[in-house]
Amino acid sequence: MSKRIEVKDLNVYYSKFRAVEDVTITIEPRTVTAFIGPSGCGKSTFLRTLNRMHEVIPGAYVEGEVLIDGNDLYAQGVDPVLVRRQVGMVFQRPNPFPTMSIRENVLAGVKLNNRRITKSDADDLVEKSLLGANLWNEVKDRLDKPGSGLSGGQQQRLCIARAVAVSPDVILMDEPCSALDPISTLAIEDLIEELKQEYTIVIVTHNMQQASRVSDKTAFFNIAGTGKPGKLIEYDNTATMFSNPSVQATEDYVSGRFG
Partner 1 sequence: MTATAERPTPTAPRPKATVRLGDRVFSLATVLSGSLILLVLVLVALFLIVQSIPALFAKPGEIPNQATNFWTYVGPLVFGTVWAAILALIIATPLSLGIALFISHYAPRRIAAVLGYIIDLLAAVPSVVFGLWGVLVLAPFIQPFYNTLVDHVGWIPLFAGPVSGTGKTILTAAIVLAVMCLPIMTAVMREIFLQAPVLHEEAALALGATRWEMIRMAVLPFARSGIVSAVMLGLGRALGETLAIAIVLSPATVVNVFLLTSQNPNTIAANIALQFNEAQGVGLNTLIASGLILFVITLLVNMAARFVVNRRKAFSGAN
Partner 2 sequence: MSVAVRSSRATTSNTLTAGKLPKGAPWGLLIVSWAIFVGIFLLLKASGTTADFNIVGALFFGTILFDVLIVVISMVVEGGRKAKDRLVTSLVTTAFIVTLLPLVSLIYTVISRGVARFDANYFSESMRNVIGAGGGALHAIVGTLEITAFAALISIPIGLLTSIYLVEYGRGRLARAITFFVDVMTGIPSIVAGLFAFALFSLFLGPAFRAGVVGSIALSVLMIPVVVRSSEEILKIVPNELREASFALGVPKWLTILKIVLPTSIAGLTTGVMLAISRVIGETAPLLLTTGFTTSMNYDLFNDRMMTLPVFVYTQYANQGPDATPFVERAWTGALVLILIVMALNLLARLIGKIFSPKLSRR
Binding site for partner 2 (CB under 8 A): 51, 53, 56, 58, 81-86, 88-89, 91, 93-99, 108-109, 112-114, 146, 148, 155, 159, 162-163, 166
Given candidates 39, 70, 79, 256, which one binds partner 1 under the rule CB under 8 A?
79
The answer to whether residue 116 forms part of the interface with partner 1 (CB under 8 A) is: no
118: three-class secondary structure by DSSP: coil
Residue 156: CB minimum distance to partner 2, A = 11
- Cα 48 to the center of its chain, rounded Å: 8
The answer to whether residue 78 forms part of the interface with partner 1 (CB under 8 A) is: yes
Decide: 203 and 192 in contact? Cβ < 8 Å.
yes
- Cα 129 to the center of its chain, rounded Å: 17
Please tell me what DSSP assigns to residue 215: -
Partner in contact with 166, chosen from partner 1, partner 2, none, beta carbon below 5 to 8 Å by kind: partner 2
Given candidates 70, 77, 182, 256, which one binds partner 1 under the rule CB under 8 A?
77
The answer to whether residue 182 forms part of the interface with partner 1 (CB under 8 A) is: no
Q: By CB neighbour count within 10 A (0-12 exposed, 13-18 middle, 19+ buried), where does 252 fall?
A: middle
Contacts of 59 (CB under 8 A, 6+ apart): 13, 14, 15
Question: Directed axis angle between helix 102-112 and helix 152-165, to 10°?
Answer: 30
Which amino acid, 104? E
Binders in 19-58 for partner 1, by CB under 8 A: 57-58
Residue 41: CB minimum distance to partner 2, A = 21
Decide: 3 and 66 in contact? Cβ < 8 Å.
no
Partner in contact with 193, chosen from partner 2, partner 1, none, beta carbon below 5 to 8 Å by kind: none
Given candidates 39, 76, 120, 226, which one binds partner 1 under the rule CB under 8 A?
76
The answer to whether residue 1 forms part of the interface with partner 1 (CB under 8 A) is: no
- The closest of 243, 108, 119, 209 to 166, measured between CA atoms, is 108
The answer to whether residue 9 forms part of the interface with partner 1 (CB under 8 A) is: no
Tally of CA atoms within 13 A in the half-sphere of 237 that contains its CB:
4
Given candidates 1, 82, 117, 239, which one binds partner 1 under the rule CB under 8 A?
82
Q: Which is nearer to partner 2, 21 or 169 (CB)?
A: 169
- Where along the sequence are the contacts to partner 1 (CB under 8 A)? 13, 57-58, 61-63, 74-79, 81-82
